[in-house]
Amino acid sequence: MLNSIARPVVTHVINPAVRGLARLGVTPDMITLVGAAIATAGAIYFLGRGSLVIGPWVIAASVIADLFDGALARMQGTAGRWGAFLDSSLDRVVDGAIFASLAYWLMTENETGLVVLTLIALVAGQVVSYVKARAEGLGMTCNVGLMERAERLIIVLLACFLEGVGVPYALLVGLVILAVGTSLTVVQRMLHVREQAKADSGPPPAAPAPAPGEG
């Protein structure tokens, strides 16, 4: 939801920088790979150690690469299925690193309840993305939901930062919102796909069953 509203505005703002990257010979894939690597390493190193002030800033700065790579691909006329596939796949890696690293640190702090909330948010967030991909693979749309990736990242990074600077219960509140909101988004998307499937009177399109562990 937030992604569709903010992305056009932010893209307009960053276009001058994107043109500079194009002149330097930077490719969208390079931005995607470097951004994902920095975000993943930052999550493991900072969040995994409980560095909740610096970590969110490092991750947030690298996640902005999501905006630059797409804008650069459109500017160069190279936007295509490979770039979209690579971007989406690495998004899942980054999300997994953020929540898994946070869960690891919370486990070392014996915060069992927060670990459970973090894992719920992690699994539900991955399912949110998988449901959309699976629906689109079956020829349906799934652009609905209370909490997409942009909202999830903002909430988890903001909650970590506020906890790091000493705001009481910031991480607890953030993780509750994430666990509940992301789970509701899964339900929203499944119901949305169900309505489309019911309205389709033709035979379902053939699609291979997902491999074990896919998504």
Active site residue 87: no
Q: Which of 69, 87, 91, 95 is catalytic?
A: 91
Contact (CB, 8 A) for 154 and 56 = no
Residues labelled catalytic: 91
